[in-house]
Amino acid sequence: MEAYFDVYRSLLQNSLGPELGQLAASSSVAIIVLAVLVAFYRMIKASTNLPGMGEDRAEALSRGDSTGAVKAPRRQTLTVKLDKGALQKARELLNTGSDLDSVCRAIEPEYASWASLQQQIFRRAMETLLNTQRAAGI
């Protein structure tokens, strides 16, 4: 690589003079390196299929938002109150051989209509709660 740079620098120095040739050679090498890095960045970004912040801002501007602010999605909160009877029923169902998913469906009627992520969170919370009570001897 250095041999190519030396040949390139000597050609520029012969054409432009020693100082200007050295400056032009260094500048053009820096630009080439920057171009390669930008191309590499774009390849990685395209391979991940993630939208960039600029695209979101452009979309916000096209909707008429002059600031280009991007609104964050609203979080959903889910609160489920379980009484001791529901926890006792869950323990009994697990002891009879039911899987945790069936137990969650039995003690929370809305469980079947929830999104997969909500179901997973509820299952893990139930598992943690039941394991904690089992360890405490409740």
pLDDT above 80 for 111: yes
List, for residues 78-104, the tens digit of each pLDDT value: 777 888 888 888 889 988 998 999 999
List, for residues 24-60, the tens digit of each pLDDT value: 666 776 777 777 787 878 877 777 655 555 555 556 5
Spatial separation of the C-alpha atoms in residues 21 and 96, rounded to whole Å: 85
Which residues are CB-neighbours of 93 under 8 A, at least 6 positions away? Answer: 102, 103, 106
**How distant, in Å, are the alpha carbons of 58, 65, 69, 72, 79 from that of 61?**
5, 5, 8, 15, 36
